[in-house]
Amino acid sequence: MTRSPVRVVCPGSFDPVTHGHLDVISRAARLYDEVVVAVGVNVSKSRLFTADERLEMLREACAGFTNVRVEGFTGLLTDFCRQQDAQAIVKGLRAGDFDYELQMAQMNARLAPEVETVFLPTTPELAYLASSLVKEVASLGGDVTGLLPEPVRLRLLDRLAGRRTTET
């Protein structure tokens, strides 16, 4: 019996993409037929990188995956999942994430009962990684080598240096 391909969505802000995100994306790409990485491009939130920059960095970082594509979305994630005909939302889960992630998963289930949420526990070596922490450490001069793709790290340092120049 043939089955139809399973398409899932990996959502996030990706400001910027880290090896933690790529770990979840690569594991989803092994588990499912098609992965759509959904970059939240909500204009009201303040981000270090623009939507176009985040999309560009992710597309470059995901270029090696044959079954992954990167798209921007606005509005509700569940609407995007329906537009994409995706069966599930796949998210990485760190120790401290559970309560909020469960709340979002249950709200999303109410909005779109046909779209499941699947949690992948983060790889222990990457469990402490978060874009916000990487940005904070880098902005204070800490070394973030190995925590994010090298071209993304260089763009981050460049952006932070530009900010320091404009802020002084």
Residues that bind ligand PNS (CB under 6 A): 11-13, 40, 76-77, 104, 107-108
The residue among 96 and 161 lying less far from ligand PNS, judged by its C-beta, is: 96
Residue 131 among the catalytic residues: yes
Q: What is the dihedral of CA 101, 107, 108, 113, to 10 degrees?
A: 130
Name the residue number minimizing CB distance to ligand PNS.
40
**Nearest distance from C-beta of residue 76 to ligand PNS, angstroms:** 4
Residue 21 among the catalytic residues: yes
Catalytic residue among 21, 27, 91, 153: 21
3-state secondary structure (DSSP) of residue 67: coil
Asked whether the beta carbons of 119 and 10 are under 8 A apart, the reply is: no
Q: Where are the alpha helices (DSSP H) in the chain?
A: 19-31, 51-61, 77-84, 98-111, 131-139, 150-167
The residue among 58 and 144 lying less far from ligand PNS, judged by its C-beta, is: 58
Residue 91 among the catalytic residues: no
Residue 45 among the catalytic residues: yes
The residue among 4 and 100 lying less far from ligand PNS, judged by its C-beta, is: 100
25-to-34, 46, 110 alpha-carbon distances in Å: 11, 24, 25
